[in-house]
Amino acid sequence: MDYFISEIFYSIQGEGLLQGIPMVFIRLAGCNLRCPFCDTKYAWEKGNNKKDVGEIINEVKKFRCKKVCITGGEPYLQDLKILVSSLKKLNFWISIETNGTIWQEIEVDWITVSPKIEGRNYHKDGFDRKFLEVANEFKYVITGEEIFEFISRDIKCPVILQPVDNDLKIAEKIIKFLKKERKENFYLRLQLHKILKIP
């Protein structure tokens, strides 16, 4: 099976609870939301860069790292079952980052759901509520105070609040919100890779 690929690279995870862990990133191409603040707009288009599962795995193996993050764009636009099962057979630990608007039943080790207001065109809360049962963390990019009302209070797993572009004024608003909300599973996190200028 072929997949539309934006890029495959080796770096550290810069966001969420897995910050600082080296991983191979498989960035799939195509997105169904296209948020104005997106920092990977180059991954919106599918283009002509198609690779089959064997080619993807051969590239991943070059980095000699057993942790893989499948991201996008929006990875759930493509059928992930064959890619995930093939990586799993080789004992890779797999995380997925998704906006949560599209559901697939797949077995991975870690799921990060990052709902966007644009996702309300698909679901009331911006994400398919089936993810409440399987996600390991939710991550909201905070672009302004209106996003605080958008955050679902039904989430039981950790909820990361990330100021867009590491904006310190927005970070201050997040701190005020956290102190007021008193939710034990809500956390402020900055984008570590941007602070350290790691590609």
| pLDDT value for 47 | 75
Q: What is the pLDDT of residue 83?
A: 98
Read off the pLDDT band of 198 (50, 70, 90).
confident
Per DSSP, helices labelled H in 77-145 are 81-89
pLDDT in tens, 165-196: 999 999 999 999 999 999 999 999 999 999 99
CA–CA gap between residue 75 and residue 159 (Å, rounded): 21
Given this model, what pLDDT does residue 46 score?
A: 83
Query: For position 92, what pLDDT does the model report?
Result: 98
> What confidence score (pLDDT) does residue 150 get?
97
pLDDT at 23: 98
Select from 45, 91, 43, 99 the least CA-distant residue to 67. Answer: 91
- pLDDT for 36-50, tens place per residue? 999 999 999 987 789
Q: Are 189 and 15 in contact (CB under 8 A)?
A: yes
Q: What percent of the chain has pLDDT over 70?
A: 100
* Closest to 162 measured CA to CA, from 11, 12, 15: 15
The mean pLDDT value for 48-76 works out to 97
Give residue 10's pLDDT band: very low, low, confident or very high (50, 70, 90). Answer: very high
Type of residue numbered 119: G
Amino acid at 94: I
| pLDDT computed for residue 48 by the predictor | 79
Verdict on whether the full-model pTM lies above 0.85: yes
* pLDDT at 54 exceeding the cut of 80: yes
Question: 46 vs 134, which has greater pLDDT?
Answer: 134
Mean predicted lDDT score pLDDT of the chain: 96
Domains of the chain, earliest start first: 2-139 (3.20.20.70)
